[in-house]
Structure 1
């Protein structure tokens, strides 16, 4: 039984390709490695779309798993961005435009539909201790639209309108993410960490943080020659003055998440698809750090971007290996298994 949670594997693989392609230094074999990861992400996308069409389940009545309908649109746009960065010529632009358009439309629908469903369905009403990183999945998708759409601005005729739309998409995600992150913080302080399998979802908080820095960096670059001054200059200033403080908070949250994760590992951290939360969110911090390094020329940020990229590749290798071991090598686990509570099914490797 497949659900939208499986698209997290596409996101996690695709961000490795994007991070490699946009590193501020040209490491040996970087482009070839990025291309291989992009092709793997594209194949995964096709496989997961096919499996979902054949035996997917919506999970729209599950207050936990329905949050992960934010993953499919982000998977589409992540593969699309990789195609534009690494694919061949005109095909790359056309393919990315299709994937970005489909992902953006679906992402906007999900960003409204999932919170609306939570607000209007008494049986899906959240308790005070229910907030978790997955609540960010529906609302972070428009930020991915902003970041990946910025890459398309030079390639479309209506570049100015696309740029303005991307800034609006960034606003949708940014303000919604601030609200949700505040709720997650309050839940952690008042009700502590909770179930071990929920711990990896704390890393999802890095997603809107890193992606917003990446988005405003790329939008600032795209604004040059598209917006008149002083707005083009202001976009460049905003990229730096927003990016560095937000990146600082991302590192602060990463330190908290690392401490909580290590504490949980000592007592037992069972494998499930939640482990893909260690990949895409970290990848957005890599692209954010790389973007700030490129913008400022800072050797410290450049070194940090490379170090974080090494962490990302290591995390992807571990999670991909565990996913294969749990599902491909033991296909019986792919069958649906009943669970007493929705939290027990949280992006579980079924």
Structure 2
């Protein structure tokens, strides 16, 4: 074999000098979800505190910039190391994170809509198409003949279901009612199925590894997002809507009980899983307050929003520190 051939980069197992890009994970899109969630939460709080509108716009711009940067890097990885992307796709845990790409697009469209309706609609349509394809592809991967083990199952598996349920939040406003109900129905069904599997795994099997334990917070997201989607489609609060919102509060209480354990864990990108579920619950609380006139829920929304701001600020600082210390994009 020639010297030139022997020194050529291997797209399957990249040498150390090429490992940074090769180990740029799809999980980075969870950062965009967190930022977009914060922007939407600040926007939802703005009717009661108008000065938060400017903060929402600023976070939205930062989130869009983060989405573009992360997309460029991940596209570069896909072109340079396609086999590494394939490895992520076949990874039992990272597979569930691929819909974070389309979820980020759907959240971005929802956040942009008050400023530019046409652009938001096109982003939403692209996100819906991608979400539909990824949902079928991911679920097909789950029910294929791969040798999944119980330890591979984490609350991160809810992400495809959450993506489907996000669709109606904007879809109902722009007139895509049937598409909204279609994806909402699929998301709810898979959430119920996965919730049963996840609770079985958490109760009867070994604890999750430390770096994935923060994904426990994702338990909050499906009912909170489902509440927002449901009231967007029916326009009011009924018994089912109340059940969804209160389910979010119940899961939040379960997560609060895990805080002492969370506080002892080392930082990993999975910590960004804390951000979007908190944002969803804050937005749901504000939305309930607007529809029902409940001052209590408005107070709850602001309380969660304060926690969310602190969490995102801490995550941004810790992620920046990890990048500076070369802790990110390392072989696992």
TM bucket by the smaller chain?
0.7 to 0.9
**CA deviations over 1:7-56 (Å, ceiling 9, x no partner):** 11111001111111122743152110000011111111111111111124
CA distance in structure 2 between the aligned counterparts of 1:324 and 1:243, rounded to whole angstroms: 39
Q: Give matches, 1:243-262, under 5 Å.
A: 243-262=241-260
Please report the RMSD computed on the Cα atoms of aligned residues, expressed in angstroms. Answer: 1.6
Aligned twin of 2:55: 33
CA distance in 1: counterparts of 2:34 and 2:238, whole angstroms: 26
In the TM superposition, what is the alpha-carbon distance from 1:118 to its structure 2 partner? 2.0
User: How many correspondences in the alignment?
Assistant: 303
- Going from structure 1 to structure 2, the CA distance change for 1:292 and 1:24 (only over 3 Å counts) comes to farther
Q: Does 1:300 align with 2:296?
A: yes
Q: 1:210 aligns to what SS in structure 2?
A: helix
Q: Determine whether 1:70 maps to 2:99.
A: yes
Alpha-carbon deviation of 1:171?
0.7
Structure 1 counterpart SS, 2:90? coil
Q: Is the 8 A contact 1:16 1:312 kept in 2?
A: yes
State whether residues 35 and 59 of structure 2, in contact with CA within 8 Å, keep that contact through their aligned partners in structure 1. Answer: yes
Structure-to-structure mapping, 1:1-350, within 5 angstroms? 1-23=23-45, 25-56=47-78, 57-58=84-85, 59-85=88-114, 87=115, 92-122=116-146, 125-151=147-173, 153=174, 159=175, 162-221=176-235, 236=236, 239-265=237-263, 268-327=264-323, 329-330=324-325, 332-337=326-331, 339=332
- Per-residue displacement from partner, 1:295-342 (whole Å, max 9, x unpaired)? 110111111111111111111111111111101x23x334441x3xxx
Any stretches of 5+ residues in structure 2 without a counterpart? 1-22, 79-83
CA 1:284–1:335 in 2, change beyond 3 Å: closer, same or farther? Answer: closer
Question: Does the residue aligned with 2:258 lie in a helix, a strand or coil?
Answer: helix
Instruction: Give 1:192 deviation, angstroms.
Output: 4.8
Secondary structure of the equivalent of 1:290?
helix
**What TM-score comes out, normalization by structure 2 length?**
0.87
Looking at structure 2, the residues matched to 219 and 127 of structure 1 have their Cα atoms a distance apart, in angstroms, of: 38
Whether the aligned pair in 2 keeps the contact of 1:24 and 1:291 (CA below 8 Å) is no
Aligned match of 2:20: none
TM-score by length of 1: 0.83
